[in-house]
Amino acid sequence: MMLYPRVSLYALMLASAGIPLYIHLPQFAATDLGLGLGSLGVVLLAIRAFDLVQDPLIGWAVDRWPQYQSSFGWAAALGLALGFPILFGLQQGANVLVKMTLILMLLFSAYSLGMILLYGRSATLSVSTKPRDLMTLATFRESGMLIGVILAAIAPALLVGLGASGQGYAAFGLFLGGLALATALLTRKIWQRQALVGQTLSLANLWQSGASNLIILAVLNSLPVALTSTLFLFFVQDYLAMPNLAGPLLVLFFLSAGVSVPLWNLLSQRIGAKPTLLIAMPLAIVSFVGAVFLEPGHAVGFTFICMASGAALGADMLLLPALFSLTLVKAGLSAGAAFGIWSFAGKLALALAAAIALPLLEVQGFTPGADNTPAALAALVTAYAILPCCLKTVALCYALRLPNESPPS
């Protein structure tokens, strides 16, 4: 238990690094760098192709050299510490798209290494491999993740309030770099425990264990969240016409997720993970439906939607990785390589969302911060609310196929 707060801190660092790549990057690239949304979508999809090879290799390396897990932990943090000040320090000019792509490759590599290491070492970091203890570890980890998300969401605005120039992105990059360095120093003890490594992963035993079903569900379930995360600022600022509320509403969304995590944990301890998940997923569907009927200026309605969808996100973040860890532990499989595949699957969903939604909006004439046509705004509502609703419904139907689990003991 003494390690769990440090686990939360490492998770906080990773989340504060991951979220800017999907929430702040589109805005930064469009407004500060003058890049088109279609170009950014293509870049993100290309990096996902790089991850197709990279993430499973990182997972394999984490399993192959468990004695170097401390070095892996440091490498992930130092990659983030170096990359973010450079990324958000970019300015318009020649080859800016190429420069941004190379920096993003560094950041995504460091982020992947940290995430795969943290999740792949669940059995090592937990007090024991009992379901209840693994779920407790997951609660600390995901709470740290959500605190990091909130911190990253509000940091640019806070930095502007403290005197940072422009939209605060240059100072934001320095802040993220400093946070990564501090976290590396404060969390070095969590990597000193001897790693627990199971049998070598193969596609056959991944399928036989049932873990492959959870990977498929993770992709299906991540797509709607990826769409709403990528388009959140555009929806609030350009459709709802509430630019001043974008930051507070984003914080409320993730705060609702953070507050809900311990509650979902308690419920899963009583009724099991699958029934809890099946309660949370319809909550997300209802929130997507509600967003379709909003009109510009409907602050109260969107506030409730942010709270409901945030609570649903909290369940997704807690339960799906925990179920995956439990499945791997029961089958005696090495988790590093498995979470390498898991990491790629999640990021593939995010990239697909960006690659589909951003060019679609550009084709329909949508321009962030401009006076958009009704057709362009209708396309934004479709991408932000209608498409996620359909995708979440498909994910719910697939979740019904999961085997029934007894409540954790």
- What sign results for the dihedral spanned by CA atoms 18, 31, 83, 49? positive
pLDDT score for 267? 92
Rounded Cα distance between 360 and 38, Å, is 8
Rounded Cα distance between 33 and 232, Å, is 20
Please give the C-alpha separations between residue 386 and each of 37, 287, 292, 391, 393, in angstroms, as whole numbers: 20, 11, 7, 9, 11
pLDDT score for 26? 78
Q: Which of 57, 44, 167 is nearest to 97 (CA)?
A: 44
Structure tokens, 133: 């203890």
Q: Are the beta carbons of 226 and 387 closer than 8 angstroms?
A: no
Backbone angles phi, psi at 403, to 5 degrees: -65, 150
Backbone angles phi, psi at 365, to 5 degrees: 90, 10
Within 13 Å and on the Cβ side, how many CA atoms surround 368? 25
The beta-strand segments (E) located in 94-137 are: none
Structure tokens, 159: 């930095």
Q: How far from the centroid of its chain's Cα atoms is residue 93's Cα?
A: 30
Q: Per residue of the chain (409 residues), give pLDDT as tens.
A: 568 889 999 999 999 887 777 677 877 888 888 888 778 778 877 877 787 778 888 988 888 888 888 999 999 999 999 999 999 888 887 888 888 889 999 998 999 899 999 988 887 888 777 878 888 888 899 889 888 988 887 888 788 888 887 778 889 999 999 999 999 999 988 888 777 666 676 677 778 778 888 888 988 888 888 888 888 888 998 899 998 888 788 889 888 988 998 999 899 888 888 899 999 999 999 999 999 999 999 999 999 999 999 999 999 988 988 888 888 888 777 777 788 888 777 777 777 777 778 788 888 888 887 788 888 889 899 989 999 999 999 999 999 988 765 544 4
- Out of 1.20.1250.20, 3.10.580.10, 1.10.3720.10, 3.40.50.1450, which CATH number does the structure's domain 4-399 have? 1.20.1250.20
Backbone angles phi, psi at 333, to 5 degrees: -100, 150
Could you state, in order of their start, the residue ranges of all structural domains in the chain? 4-399
Q: Are the beta carbons of 176 and 20 closer than 8 angstroms?
A: yes
End-to-end CA distance of the chain: 18
**Beta-ladder partners of 333:** 199
Q: Which of 181, 183, 160 is nearest to 171 (CA)?
A: 160
Rounded Cα distance between 20 and 37, Å, is 16
pLDDT score for 258? 87
Rounded Cα distance between 41 and 284, Å, is 25
Rounded Cα distance between 202 and 332, Å, is 12
- What sign results for the dihedral spanned by CA atoms 356, 362, 367, 371? negative
pLDDT score for 405? 59
Within 13 Å and on the Cβ side, how many CA atoms surround 293? 7
Identify residue 271 by its one-letter amino acid code: I
